[in-house]
């Protein structure tokens, strides 16, 4: 009997060892190999690679307008560039950060010391080696169809990368999009400097003469420009959830100030059709065609687009349908409500920012709770805590703060009060994450549910400011010129290691 048990045990052990060896072999076959710096995906899933080598590094220097210089080595496009030098505390998701339109015009320094170790995936949904869900096909796997930051600053750059979706190195990707980077600098010292003196204008100089600082009057402040006009769509287009327009719960208009792709994905997943409008579109001329309004994130100063502030103010004052704003959208709503905005010392950028909810909304936000959020902004709304009504800085009637930052106390969101007759929410952070924590992702479902409830209410309430159901978006009231197809990335010629190459995203 003992011999039988031993034999049975040995057989079971052999089976486990065989299964373990099989798993190890399968895992080994899926591991990445390295050839010319490009990782190889498992058979049958390898994405196309347009370029196998990044341009050779050159001596480079990061110069700050305040006089400090940081020598290093270039990567990406071998050219010099100006911008606002800012830092992010994000540990991962450099691909999402660099394609976020809110980083337009900025030299982005990563506090995480190692960047590029998992490469860059194929950004086209149609060419991705992984089937992209149809309900979230918004034209890009990342947050836009191009690299948005003006320059990249890292401590250590990894040219060798490993990820089954990786298509190319960070350096090659940056070169294809004509964006320069600098590595080998002390990013801890740089971050401490920016934290103490504030975000600073800077320049990455590459090649001959890189040691020589630019003249003071040659530095360019991107915040003085209308960066939103650079990143907003120029033509309206509409996207629908699974099942098409007929399956949509609601139809939203979205004013595009530089919308991240995951905002659209989040709304589509909640069953909304979304018509994306240019930042300066006359929304109020077509507002009754939609069930609600969404205001996206975007780069730069909210004061650079006074037309949008006026448009949103008119909608808030006259239109009684739900409105939700994120990041730049939060600031535009605040200015439209009568608050002021200010330029922060160094902003909040990263995927680890705690906010405290001051009011409960829907099922996703509870007053008193702390939520960890993804953020990217250099402006915030002003307020005077405890100010008496009528005092300068006091809250306008009908509005309350919704979130505050647990680190610096800055406003992280506002909302209309129940007695105001409005349903307006605004969050300074990014509940759609990508990258970052998903603590507040449920805010999208709460908003769509609020829009759906208001839509149903209009079917029985025909008076006041509520439009009849026959003019709602779901009834086919959206003008045909707003129903264009989703724009796709277009090929562009950019500098590569062997001259000019044609790429798409």
Q: For 420-463, give the secondary structure using H, E and C.
A: HCCCEEEECCECCCCCCCCCCCCHHHHHHHHHHHHHHHHCCCCC
Mean pLDDT of 81-100: 95
Residues 232-282 pLDDT 10s: 999 999 999 988 899 999 999 999 999 999 999 999 999 999 999 999 999
Top pLDDT among 322 and 137 is at 322
Residue of 143, 159, 432, 452 marked catalytic: 432
Confidence class for position 393, pLDDT limits 50, 70, 90? low
Residue of 327, 351, 440, 452 marked catalytic: 327
The pLDDT of residue 45 is 38
Q: Is the peptide bond before 175 cis (omega within 30 degrees of 0)?
A: no
63 is catalytic: no
Cβ(155)–Cβ(113) under 8 Å? Answer: yes
Least confident of 184-198, 242-256, 258-272, 387-401: 387-401
Residues 9-67 pLDDT 10s: 444 444 443 343 333 333 333 333 322 333 333 333 344 444 457 889 999 999 999 99
Least confident of 150-159, 283-292, 352-361, 459-468: 459-468
* Angle CA 432–276–222, to nearest 5: 75
Confidence class for position 130, pLDDT limits 50, 70, 90? low
Mean pLDDT of 429-452: 93
The pLDDT of residue 313 is 98
Residue of 84, 430, 440, 452 marked catalytic: 430
Q: Is the dihedral of CA 126, 131, 135, 136 positive or negative?
A: negative
Residues linked to residue 114 through DSSP beta bridges, in sequence order: 156
Q: Is the pLDDT score of 467 beyond 50?
A: no
The whole model's pTM is what?
0.84
Cβ(321)–Cβ(250) under 8 Å? Answer: no
432 is catalytic: yes
141 to 104, 120, 256, 436: CA distances (angstroms): 19, 11, 18, 16
DSSP state of 120: E
Distance from C-alpha of 350 to C-alpha of 362, rounded to nearest angstrom: 26
């Amino acid at each position: 009997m003992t011999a039988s048990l031993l034999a049975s045990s040995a057989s079971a052990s052999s089976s486990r060892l065989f299964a373990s060896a099989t798993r190890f072999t399968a895992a080994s076959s899926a591991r990445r190999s390295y050839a010319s710096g490009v990782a190889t995906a498992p058979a049958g899933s390898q994405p196309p690679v347009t370029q196998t080598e990044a341009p050779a590094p050159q001596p480079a220097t990061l110069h700050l307008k305040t006089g400090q210089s940081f020598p290093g080595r270039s990567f990406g496009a071998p050219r010099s560039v100006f911008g606002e030098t800012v830092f992010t505390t994000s540990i991962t998701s450099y691909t999402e950060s660099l394609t976020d339109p809110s980083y337009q015009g900025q030299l982005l320094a990563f506090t995480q010391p190692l960047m590029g170790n998992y490469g860059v995936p194929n950004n086209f949904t149609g060419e991705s080696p992984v089937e992209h869900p149809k309900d979230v096909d918004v034209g890009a796997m990342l947050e836009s169809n191009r690299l948005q930051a003006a320059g990249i600053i890292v401590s250590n750059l990894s040219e060798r990368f490993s990820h089954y979706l990786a298509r190319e190195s960070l350096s090659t990707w940056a070169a294809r999009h004509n964006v320069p980077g600098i590595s080998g600098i002390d990013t801890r010292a740089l971050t401490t400097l920016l934290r103490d003196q504030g975000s600073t204008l800077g320049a990455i100089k590459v090649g001959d003469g890189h040691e020589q600082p630019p003249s003071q009057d040659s530095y360019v402040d991107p915040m003085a420009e209308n960066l939103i006009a650079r990143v907003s769509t120029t033509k309206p287009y509409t996207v629908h959830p699974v099942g098409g327009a007929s399956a949509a719960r609601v139809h939203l208009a979205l004013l595009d100030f530089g919308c991240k792709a995951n905002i659209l994905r989040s709304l589509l997943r909640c069953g909304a059709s979304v018509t994306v409008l240019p930042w300066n579109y006359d929304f109020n001329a077509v507002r009754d065609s939609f069930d609600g309004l969404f205001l996206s994130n975007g780069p730069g100063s909210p004061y650079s687009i006074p037309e949008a502030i006026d448009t949103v103010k008119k909608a808030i004052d006259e239109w009684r349908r739900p409105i939700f704003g994120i990041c730049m959208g939060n600031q535009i709503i605040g200015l439209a409500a009568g608050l002021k905005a200010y330029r922060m010392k160094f902003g909040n950028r990263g995927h680890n920012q705690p906010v405290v909810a001051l009011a409960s909304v829907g099922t996703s936000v509870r007053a008193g709770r702390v939520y960890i959020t993804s953020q990217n902004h250099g402006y915030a709304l002003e307020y005077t805590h405890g100010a008496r009504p009528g005092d300068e800085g006091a809250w306008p009637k009908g509005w309350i703060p919704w979130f505050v930052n647990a680190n610096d106390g800055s406003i992280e969101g506002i909302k209309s009060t129940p007695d105001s007759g409005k349903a307006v929410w605004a969050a300074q952070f990014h509940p759609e994450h990508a990258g970052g924590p998903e603590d507040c992702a449920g805010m999208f479902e709460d908003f769509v549910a609020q829009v759906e409830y208001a839509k149903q209410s209009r079917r029985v309430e025909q008076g006041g400011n509520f439009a009849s159901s026959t003019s709602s978006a779901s009834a086919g009231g959206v003008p045909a010129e707003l129903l264009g197809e989703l724009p796709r990335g277009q090929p562009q010629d950019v500098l590569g290691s062997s001259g000019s190459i044609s790429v798409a995203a």
